[in-house]
Amino acid sequence: MNTRKVLRVISLIMLIVAVVFIVIAASVPTLGKVIYIGKFYFGPEQWRVCYAIYAMVMVGLFLASFLMKTKR
């Protein structure tokens, strides 16, 4: 198997795991615990942003696998 195909398979598996994780995490009404760091509040809204960033990174990695050039 060449590097391009291996990267695509790995990134596809990571994308599937990310989608499953986000679906399960988003189905919980509270989206995890509320964390206080000093006066900073990290609640459900911030968790949603983190999950959205995570999903975008996984999609980006999957799409990047199609841009990889083959070695000569």
* Cut 0.85: pTM above it: no
**Could you read off the pLDDT of 8-66 as tens digits, one per residue?**
888 888 888 888 888 887 787 666 678 888 888 888 888 888 888 988 888 888 888 78
Q: Other C-beta atoms within 10 Å of 19: how many?
A: 13
Task: Give one DSSP letter per residue of 19-55, joined into a string.
Answer: HHHHHHHHHSTT-S--EEETTEEE-HHHHHHHHHHHH
